[in-house]
Chain A
Amino acid sequence: MLEVSGLEVMRGDHRLFTDMSFSLQGGELLRLRGSNGSGKTSLLRTVCGLLEPSQGEVLWKGKNIHSQRDEFNGSLTYLGHHNGIKAELTGFENLRLSSALGGKAIPDDRIYEALETIGLGGREDLPTQVLSQGQKRRVALARLLLSDADLWVLDEPFTALDVKAVAMLSGLIEGHLQKGRMVMLTTHQEVAIRAGEVREVDLDG
């Protein structure tokens, strides 16, 4: 499904990695390892199509992602360092907006349900600027609950989360993999995720 071949990414004059190749099939989890600055985030952003590789290409279902951007974006959910939520809008509004912008309007009660599940019950209608870091992260993670995208690309999804939330998120990822979908993530924490097939890519080695 997802195939990365001969990827080379430069930041300025610095070559982060070269000749990176791997592939990811349905039901598989890909875990990126590497020290700070080894290019984990850049690799994830390249896979999403936010960064242009200097060499190589990213293929989705056999076609370059840049030649089918709308289709690829439709099967992708990306969670980056930034939460991607507006501080002036409430958690509910943020989620409703992101689903409407994605072209798939979701009924209001499902959004409330997702916020309840993620542990923000009673805070759905507060502007997210009054929430704590961890709670803001939860609003962003609630997008995953509502996403039926084939590929999740998660950059450090476990930061700023408490133990309970970490357990819930790893459960969420396992559920996603069991549906035969794909997850690609980076993390510094050792989180146990049971999955059929776990691939590892080490950017230091």
Chain B
Amino acid sequence: MVEEDSLKQQSLLAAWWSMVMRDLTLAMRRRADVLTTLFFFLIVVSLFPLGVSPEMNILRGIAPGVIWVAALLASMLSLGRLFSDDYQDGTLEQMLLLPQPLSVMVLGKVLAHWLVSGVPLVLLAPLLGIQMGLDSSAIGLLMLTLLLGTPVLSLIGSVGAALTLGVRGGGVLVSLLVLPLYIPVLIFGTGAVDAGTSGMDFEGHLSLLGAFLVLAALLTPLATAAALRISVE
């Protein structure tokens, strides 16, 4: 019995890993999709020095907020890719019929989505931080908050993407559903950087972001799986 259980776990792990690799491979073969959201992120942030003021002191003050809001929008833009292609070609249907728990498969898909659309945002943040006049410790903190926060965005976003699957104008609907739920992440993400630059304690903010991540990783795959079953009906 114990042996059978461990065998089951192994096959589940193997299936989970093939799901992650599948989505990474697909993203590599459709690089343009990934690059457009990254350019979107870069361009939105670059508009602020032009539109608000090139004055470094002003930019430094708004930088964490601007970069975080741009990251929210970029991560939301990429949500469309998460399930809709699979829905259209019938592979989502097949995914629902796998002999594996659907929420585990969903977690694999979200992880792949974050690696492709969230991690690049974290890696690009220093470049934008320099452009907005942030110093190196603030940039480090910004990257850390993004590293903790962007997976939460992908996880919450997956629920919205699953709920609006197959709905006409789903893209706009996703933003209405998901953006309000992004607010706590935004508040504590920018709050940590602001606290850090003004010399205050920022550990509380980071702990809360970490707590959001743990909660989201535990709960959202279940909600997403349920939403997918309803959407495919």
Which residues of A does B touch, CB under 8 Å?
48-52, 70-71, 73-74, 76, 78, 80-89, 93, 97-98, 100-105, 127
Selected contact of B100 from candidates A76, A85, A87, A103, CB within 8 Å: A103
Selected contact of A88 from candidates B14, B29, B94, CB within 8 Å: B29
For the residues of B in contact with A, the DSSP-based class is: helix
Interface string of B94-110 (1 = CB under 8 A from A): 11111111000100000
Interface string of B4-45 (1 = CB under 8 A from A): 000000011011001100100110011000000000000000
Which residues of B does A touch, CB under 8 Å?
11-12, 14-15, 18-19, 22, 25-26, 29-30, 88-91, 93-101, 105, 232-233
Q: Is the CB of B89 within 8 A of A105?
A: no
CA distance A75 to B98 in the complex (A): 10
Selected contact of B94 from candidates A49, A70, A78, A104, CB within 8 Å: A78
Most chain A beta-carbon neighbours within 10 Å: one of B29, B30, B91, B94? B94
Q: Is the CB of A50 within 8 A of B96?
A: yes
- With a CB–CB cut-off of 8 A, which chain A residues contact B94? 78, 84, 98, 101
Those 3 A-B pairs whose CB atoms lie nearest each other, nearest first = A82-B90, A74-B99, A103-B11
Q: Is the CB of A103 within 8 A of B14?
A: yes
Supposing A100-B15, A103-B12, A103-B15 touch, asked if A73 and B90 sit within 8 A by C-beta, the answer is: no
12 cross-chain CB contacts under 8 A: A49-B97, A51-B233, A71-B99, A80-B90, A82-B89, A84-B94, A85-B91, A89-B29, A101-B18, A103-B11, A103-B98, A105-B14
CB B98 to nearest CB in A, in angstroms, measures 6
- With a CB–CB cut-off of 8 A, which chain B residues contact A84? 89-91, 93-94
Chain A residue with the shortest CB-CB distance to B99: A74
Q: Is the CB of B101 within 8 A of A82?
A: no
Most chain A beta-carbon neighbours within 10 Å: one of B11, B19, B26, B89? B89
